[in-house]
A and B are shown apart, each in its own frame.
Chain A
Amino acid sequence: MSVTISSKRLHREFVKKVKELSGQNLKLCYQCGLCTGNCPAAVNMDISPRRIIELARLGLEEEIATSKTVWVCASCLACAVNCPRGFDLSKLMEAIRLLTLRKNVDHIRPEDIPQQERCDLPQIAMVSGLRKFTG
């Protein structure tokens, strides 16, 4: 996937909000890719974890907003504990999710979960899932 980088495409407000919400210094990352290598969900992502960091600091909001990557992240923190730069990618993923959820755009609707699933899923799954996927 090629990406056009230009100052015109840089969404400064997006970068600012992501930094505020995540509390992370995006400049720490040196793109070694250990986050992607350690991510058990990377195989289901359209943009790799490493690439999400790069796109975020370039302010390429459209690429990130249309990607499914942050919704596939399970917040397992394999990226965070293996990062040689001390960058906590799970917090960046959460920040990007929240920028969508806080616009009242939910990733799932409880009523769309089949009734049998709703009965079968344990409370710990429903609470954590709805916390991560709804605003």
Chain B
Amino acid sequence: MKTRARNLEEPAVASMEALGFKLDEVPRWNCCGAVYSLADDDLIHQVAPVRNLIRVKKQGKTELVTLCAFCLNTLKRANLLMRQDAEKRNTLNDFVDEGIDYGGEVKVVHLLEVLRDEIGWEALSQKVKLPLQELKVAPYYGCTLLRPREVAIDNVEDPTILGNFLKALGANPVDFPESTRCCGSYQVVSSPHDISEYTRPILSSASGHGAEALVLTCPLCDYNLGRGQKELTKKGSGFKEIPLFYFTQLLALALGRGPAASGSCSGAGSPGMSF
């Protein structure tokens, strides 16, 4: 977020300022580990997300807002573990040397939830200075905002949060059936050449349904879709690249904070569409 996904963070901070909110960065935050550990006995990998949550509690704050979908998933699942499993909670509290005990008190939310639940789509739309002129944008959710069910920020089968967000900005959301299909995720590390085929159905479906751009929430989706479409273009067969935007970039643009906040880059492999 501080280097490779600055175009996710910086427009978020500027946009929230425009909406009258100040985002306070967690002091001494550490990487949450990116993926939630799925093994029952693997508590050591819960330490990183739990430590972040404890630091939020120590600040006297009750809510942690994430911009990255992976962070949301890992932090929210670790938080649930601390709430629901007394034995593991005790073990982790004994191990993590942060001075206070933690029991899942902090609420973990994604910025989209703040926009939906605390500001509201109607109020957001009234703050829009530069409506997106019915730009046809396909909302791409990927995996981690919606799965597993217990941490989903919206209906798992029929999510609407990104579509409603786009409508509030004056864009025209384009429904497409692959909006929750996995982009290949960390498989890009072990099987980079498979990524184009992971991303082909997503990109083709979005374009096929008339989308002029894709909106994303996750830096790994951004990388994989960008890389995938570059490779698919090289392979030929008439594949056409489509611009990729973080939701925060479109937000900043619509709120009139685009030029300062969004920079000129719009994704690793996105065709040029600078602000």
Binding site for B on A (CB under 8 A): 20-23, 40-41, 43-44, 71-72, 74-78, 80-81, 88, 90-91, 93-95, 98, 107-108, 113, 117, 121-133
Contacts and interface: CB of A to CB of B under 8 A. Distances in A.
Q: Which 3 residue pairs are nearest across A and B when measured between Cβ atoms?
A: A129-B189, A76-B182, A94-B38
B189 A20 contact: no
B33 A127 contact: yes
Nearest to A88: B148
22 contacts: A22-B39, A40-B198, A74-B143, A74-B187, A77-B148, A78-B147, A78-B182, A81-B149, A91-B38, A91-B40, A95-B38, A95-B39, A98-B39, A108-B190, A117-B192, A122-B220, A123-B3, A124-B219, A125-B186, A127-B34, A128-B185, A128-B189
Contacts of B192: 117
A79 to B, nearest CB: 10
Contacts, number: 126
A81 B182 contact: no
A128 B218 CA distance: 13
A43 B105 CA distance: 42
B143 A76 contact: yes
Contacts of B122: none
A21 B34 contact: no
Contacts of A78: 143, 147, 180-182
B4 interface: yes
B33 A20 contact: no
Given A127-B33, A131-B34, A133-B190, A74 B40 contact: no
